[in-house]
Amino acid sequence: MTNLRNDDNDRMDGLTESIFSQRSKKRKLQRILLYLAVILICICILAPYIWLIISSLSYRVDLTAIPLHWIPKKINVENYRQIFLSTADSSSPNHDLRYGFLNSLIIAGSSTLICLFAGTFAAYAFTRLNFKGKKSFYLLILITQFLPLAVLIIPIYIIMKDLGLLNTRLALILANCSFILPLMVWLMRSYFTSVPKDLEEVARIDGCSRFGTIFRIIIPLSTPGLAACGIFAFIIAWNEFFTAFILSSTLNSKTISVLLSEYSSKVGIDYVAMASAGVVASLPPVIMALVFQKYIVQGLTGGAVKG
């Protein structure tokens, strides 16, 4: 009887070890497949940008060679020198890119600050205050997000023309705010909802005013959400092409996205110059996304948990 019991115990131990071994192999296989999927996604995302950088540092003969030279034999920085170091009397199309870069920085930065300021107070009002027509007004703001920009561009153009703002940075700032601000209100409202009302009530009992609670409690607790919204607003304003193309026709107001579209007519098929301009145009959004990536994740997930 003792031997039979020992045999049964050995069988159970062997069966248990077999089950654990199978589970361990299954987990390893799943982990390997997950890593392979992540690597594949990273390659698909990074490969075009890496090739853009390589193309900007190559000579035209390297890009048209058969077979293709994936790594340039000699580094070419002439286009970058023309963009940043060329003189005012330079006829190179790369020289104009610095003005477009500056215009884009001013327009995108101003649009971001205005939308963050106005969107914060509007989102707070929709979250904490009770007033007549609150839901209807909020729905009206959200409906504007469903309207295509092609429908709105004609009224925007007529308004800017009547105000004498065509070919100015202010026109592009106002146009960007018109379609970025509703997005900021929607994002910040969902984030403010996650901030407990008890904190505000305690502050009000202690004598803090409404604006005091906003600046001392709401905004400090909502820093990740504000940072995420600011990054999204900047990237949207920086990449905007359609309104900038319609509302600006002079170098004083053209953004970098509009100037990039003119490279094909100015330099023919100079792929190296186009690649260099593309790298310069992509630097601010890429740098912001890399530096503030933790705020993007916190801002997007913070509003999902309500206090």
**pLDDT digit string (tens) for 130-145?**
888 888 888 888 888 8
pLDDT over 90 at 152, yes or no: no
What is the full DSSP assignment across 152-177? HHHHHHHHHHHTT-TTSHHHHHHHHH
* pLDDT of amino acid 299: 57
Task: Mark 52-89 as b/e (b = at least 16 C-beta within 10 Å).
Answer: eebbbbbbeebeeeeeeeeebeeebeebbebbeebeee
pLDDT over 70 at 1, yes or no: no
Q: How far apart are CA 172 and CA 130, in angstroms?
A: 34
* pLDDT of amino acid 112: 93
Q: Could you give the 3-state DSSP secondary structure of residue 86? A: coil
- Average pLDDT over the chain, rounded to whole? 81
Which of 65-69, 137-141, 171-175, 208-212 is the most confident on average? Answer: 171-175
Q: Which alpha helices (H) appear in 132-252, and where do they start and end?
A: 134-143, 149-162, 169-192, 197-205, 210-213, 219-221, 223-239, 242-247
Which pTM does this prediction carry? 0.80
76-90, 129-143, 175-189: least confident range: 76-90
My answer on whether omega of the bond before 67 falls inside 30° of 0, hence cis, is yes
Q: How far apart are CA 109 and CA 171, in angstroms?
A: 14
- 220-240 pLDDT, tens digit per residue, is 888 888 888 888 899 999 989
* pLDDT of amino acid 306: 44
pLDDT over 80 at 40, yes or no: yes
Instruction: Give yes or no for a contact between 143 and 185, defined as CB atoms under 8 angstroms apart.
Output: no
Q: To the nearest whole percent, how much of the chain has pLDDT over 70?
A: 85
